[in-house]
Amino acid sequence: MDENIIPLIQDVASQFQRSGSDLKNIQKTIQDIRETEKVRREALQDTRSLLQKMSRDLQLSRSKGSREHVDPDSINHESYIQSLDSKTFSIAKVIQDMDQDIASLEAEVHQLRMQSLELDSSHKSGLTPNGKNASSNENGIVQDGEVALDDVEDILDDTAHATAVLRLQLYRGLGVEMLENDLGIYSKARVHPLSLPRCGLF
CB 136 within 8 A of CB 143: yes
Confidence of residue 202 (pLDDT cuts 50, 70, 90): very low
Give the model's pLDDT for residue 154: 61
CB 174 within 8 A of CB 195: no
The four Cα atoms 114, 115, 120, 123 give a dihedral, to 10 degrees, of: 140
| Domain-located, residue 66 | no
| 160 and 118 housed in the same domain | yes
| 97 and 195 housed in the same domain | yes
Spatial CA neighbour of 122 closest among 142, 138, 136: 142
| 56 and 90 housed in the same domain | no
| 14 and 109 housed in the same domain | no
What percent of the chain lies above the pLDDT cut of 90? 0
Total domains in the fold of the chain: 2
pLDDT tens, position by position, 55-83:
777 777 777 665 555 555 555 667 777 77
| Domain-located, residue 184 | yes
Give the model's pLDDT for residue 152: 57
| Domain-located, residue 132 | no
Q: Which residues contact 190 (CB under 8 A, 6 or more apart)?
A: 176, 177, 179
Q: Which residues contact 70 (CB under 8 A, 6 or more apart)?
A: 77
CB 182 within 8 A of CB 107: no
| 11 and 57 housed in the same domain | yes
**The domain containing residue 13 runs over which residues?**
5-61
pLDDT tens, position by position, 85-118:
777 777 777 777 777 777 777 677 767 777 776 6
| 14 and 112 housed in the same domain | no
* Dihedral sign of CA atoms 176, 92, 104, 201 in order: negative
Q: What is the DSSP letter of 127?
A: B
| Domain-located, residue 185 | yes
